[in-house]
Structures are given as C-alpha cells and as structure tokens.
Amino acid sequence: MPPHDLLVRPATPGDRDAVWPLAYRFATSFEPVREVFDATWERLIAKPQALVLVAEEGDGAVVGYLLAHSHLAFFANGPVVWVEEVMVDEDRRGGGIGRCLMEHAEAWATSIGAAYAALATRRAATFYRALGYEESAVFFRKLLL
C-alpha cells in the first residue's frame, strides 16, 4: 500500500532536476549526460505518445518516476505500450510507490486502447510478476553508439 501522502502525476518541466538523480542511478548500460537528459526531458514531456510520471510525497519530494511510450503495432490491431523506465528512490522501495506508478501507466494504456503493456527488466522480475506480468519473449539489443 503506498503512503497516503503519495501523489502520482504527469511530470512537468519543473520536475527535471528532481528526476535527474533518479534517472542517473537507473542507468546501468550507459552513463547519462546531464545536457542530453535535459534536452530529452523537454521533448518527452511534450510528446503525446510518451508518458512521464513522477511520484511525489506530501512534502513535495519526488521519490520515483516512470517513462512509457505508446506506438501502433500491426499484430495488436492498434496501440501497445512499452514501459521504458521505472525508478523508485532506493530508500523508498518496498512501500508501494513502484506499484502505484505502474497502475497509473496501465490506466493510461487502457485509456488509449492499448492491447497490452510490456517491458524488459534485468533486476526486478519478481516485482513485475507480483503485478501480474508474465514472461513473453526474449529481449535482444545491439549497441549502435
């Protein structure tokens, strides 16, 4: 159960500085660059196909964020949602904040008629299984940079 004073809401331009340290700690394969993050932030929060949420405690502290995208797929007969990043401050994990962020993302996916929500994870499979997600495919990538 999330704290009673938790607010999950769409990110605003003013949340950028609070999300940066969380995004920096989220990365394992790449080292985020602040200037690139700042430019990407502005583009993402303005993009209708992107969902950027923050989890804010009653004192205004941002303790988590979520980034998701919707796109059309032939096989699904319409939109699908890919959850790209979910990060909760390490000291606040286990209290329902991640679950709350995912519930909001799922509600958004449902509201746009998405056939499903999907994601890839290396470290949090148990968390996603507890939310009802199941393994569906193998994730492949090829580094291009």
Tell me phi and psi for residue 22, to 5 degrees: -70, -45
Judged against a pLDDT cut of 90, whether residue 28 lies above it is answered with: no
Which pLDDT score, from 0 to 100, does residue 3 have?
66
How much of the chain exceeds pLDDT 70, in percent? 98
Which pLDDT score, from 0 to 100, does residue 1 have?
55
Cα–Cα dist 121/131, whole Å:
14
Judged against a pLDDT cut of 70, whether residue 125 lies above it is answered with: yes
Cα–Cα dist 31/5, whole Å:
33
- Identify the CA nearest to 107 among candidates 92, 117, 98: 117
Which pLDDT score, from 0 to 100, does residue 106 have?
98
The amino acid at 122: R
